Structure 1
């Protein structure tokens, strides 16, 4: 069976082995391809399913896209335990290992500065929805997400916010999030590994002071929201942003 390479992420060389049971897209095991001091984490997948035309069909099918996204993120999430990965765009595919090495060599000038910036850092996400008395009675809950954002940002090196997210000192209508209702805060925080415990402790201290809202903490995960390449580039693909990234 002819295969191609599905590429999940680029990293610095790491000593810890990949988990033996780690599988990704199409249930294929992950392995590494090295070139010039960089490592790509890849899987060998069937060409019949991942050549340009069938891959495009897969991306247009919501169910198959969701499966692909979960498998992609499963591998990237596993890498967080052994290194600081730079996630690549969802559905980055190359013909063979040599083509993957070319990707590493060609992208080196962009990959290296980004890897240096993300080294030893993880992403945490916080989303806030109105709930309970705030939704039923119209109680003002805008101060709650602002307080959360201000306090948590103190533990982060960088912050990315989504549409409708209140910034400190700003007011405005919250954005809509479809079936989940209005979103009062949708933020990602880039946090050093050594500061993650303090970040979570601060979050736990603030939650009892947040009546009228539902607060969701996600992470730690690879810093999808902060992968901007030197010289320009999009954030990397993720379950929340499957279309962006490096490829």
Structure 2
């Protein structure tokens, strides 16, 4: 059973870190909460009121205070560990109820402030929880092999084929200019093809989902493989929609196999992309980081 009693009141050296608003499927069926939150010195607990519960833990302001957290955000090891623990806390509750997740780094000054938020925004949270109840977030990433895609595009471009033939017959100076033309033509055609494939697959998948969002693509320098990410999207599904959704994704990938397109379907995730959380004024400004950015990593 979770600990519903509030631990010792936060002191000026601690704040209350909020992971999200939670509605258990059955209050008497909850398993133990995670032993600790993003700060290993403090346990995770629930602050409840108005039929709602906030999933929280205390945090030391020596690491999470406004004057130090900005520096910590530039420490990759610290940041990754904290974001993973933030997500682990929420993921532990996901099978046991409905969660509206908060952005990483949302800290209130006191437990009373959190309970005030639950009271003043009760209708908002009940509405969000009702919308997310019984629904799951699934992530889709599309990848392309740049070499395979380039080859496929060249084969489909008569103008590119004519340029290639002229290059083989031209003098060195003319060949150089023709190669420049071919490179520009190919680059533009590849970009158009990537956009078309990503748009088509995303639009098709939306027909088998309740909702979907396209997120920013990761920076190319963060890619750990030769493949290029061309779609980074999330979809909200009912559990009984998953098989049809997966089948449609597989069909789309087969249709674009000759272009070097592959996909990764992952989930179910805490619904970060569908929470639409508006924080009250008395909450600390959240850090501009969505833990969903790390979802594809084990």
TM-score range, shorter chain: 0.7 to 0.9
Q: Which residue of 120, 130, 133 corresponds with 1:116?
A: 130
Shift of 1:240: 4.3
Aligned pairs for 1:91-102 (under 5 A) are 91-102=105-116
Between Structure 1 and Structure 2, the one with more strand by share is: 1
| 1:9 aligned partner | 20
Q: How does 1:175-190 map to 2 (within 5 A)?
A: 177-179=219-221, 180=223, 182-190=228-236
Matching of residues 41-190 of structure 1 within 5 Å: 41-131=55-145, 134-135=148-149, 137-139=151-153, 142=194, 144-163=197-216, 177-179=219-221, 180=223, 182-190=228-236
Question: Which segment is superposed worse, 22-31 or 120-129?
Answer: 22-31
TM-score between both structures, scaled by the size of structure 1: 0.77
Tell me, in whole angstroms, the C-alpha distance in 1 between the residues paired with 2:240 and 2:268.
12
Once structures 1 and 2 are overlaid, which stretch shifts more, 150-159 or 15-24?
15-24
**1:222 to partner: Cα distance:** 1.6
**TM superposition shift of 1:137:** 1.6
**Number of residue-to-residue matches in the alignment:** 229
- The CA deviation string for residues 22-50 of structure 1, in whole angstroms up to 9 with x for no partner, is 54302343221101111101122334333
SS at match of 1:84: strand
Give deviations 1:180-222, integer Å, cap 9, x for gaps.
3643222211112332333234334544444202312221112
Partners in 1 of 2:289 and 2:242 — Cα distance?
Answer: 23
Q: Which of these residues, 183, 195, 207, is aligned with residue 241 of structure 2?
A: 195
Shift, 1:13, TM fit: 4.2
Q: Quote the Cα distance in structure 2 between the aligned partners of 1:6 and 1:146.
A: 38
Aligned match of 1:26: 39
C-alpha displacement of 1:107: 2.7
Task: State the Cα RMSD in Å.
Answer: 3.2
| CA distance, structure 2, for counterparts of residue 126 and residue 209 of structure 1 | 17
TM-score, normalising length: structure 2? 0.65
Within the candidate set 275, 280, 285, 1:227 is matched to 275
Residue by residue over 1:157-196, the C-alpha shift from the partner in whole angstroms, topping out at 9 and shown as x without a partner, is 1111135xxxxxxxxxxx6732236432222111123323
Give the unaligned 5+ runs of structure 1. Answer: 164-174, 243-247
Structure 2 unaligned regions, length at least 5: 1-9, 154-189, 280-285
**Conserved 8 A contact 1:5-1:93:** yes
Larger radius of gyration: 2
CA drift of 1:77 comes to 1.7
- The range that moved more, 133-142 or 53-62, is 133-142
Given that residues 87 and 224 in structure 1 are in contact (C-alpha distance below 8 angstroms), is that contact kept between their aligned partners in structure 2?
A: yes
